[in-house]
């Protein structure tokens, strides 16, 4: 299986996938930590893919999405974006709407708490 085949299988086989440096339990960069922290705080069930563990996946995800940086968040097969985009969407409520529209379970109260803390 090629890296692209693996990426497609992960994205198609999981509602939410985060390509990141490190793991959701132990992120290895600040940007990955921020996105994983949001998803963890919201109680979202997601697959984490550590791009540091496989150079082919690390480059493959950049080629697949035509997006040059990590982390990368996918929801129901759709590329959402990286750290800045996910942060903005969290604070604006757009991430809630995306999860609602796609049928992804998350803690709405936790999302409100994030916005209140950053108001």
Which SS3 state, helix, strand or coil, does residue 81 take?
strand
**Sign of the CA dihedral running 94, 80, 49, 32:** negative
The CA distance from 11 to 34, in Å, is 21
CA dihedral 32, 68, 89, 8 (to 10 degrees): -80
- 29 labeled part of a ligand binding site: yes
SS percent in the chain: helix, strand, coil, step 5: 55, 15, 30
Binding residues: 29
Residues placed in the known binding site for [2Fe-2S] cluster: 29
């Amino acid at each position: 299986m090629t890296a692209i085949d693996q990426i497609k299988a992960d994205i198609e086989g999981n509602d939410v996938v985060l390509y990141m440096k490190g793991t959701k339990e132990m992120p290895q960069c600040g940007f990955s930590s921020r996105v994983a922290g949001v998803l963890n705080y919201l109680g979202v069930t997601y697959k984490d893919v550590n791009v540091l563990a496989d150079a082919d996946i690390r480059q493959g995800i950049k080629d697949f999405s035509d997006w040059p940086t990590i982390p990368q968040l996918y929801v129901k097969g759709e590329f959402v974006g990286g750290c800045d985009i996910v942060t903005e969407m969290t604070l604006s409520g757009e991430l809630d709407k995306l999860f609602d529209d796609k049928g992804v379970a998350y803690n709405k109260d936790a999302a409100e708490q994030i916005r209140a803390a950053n108001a």
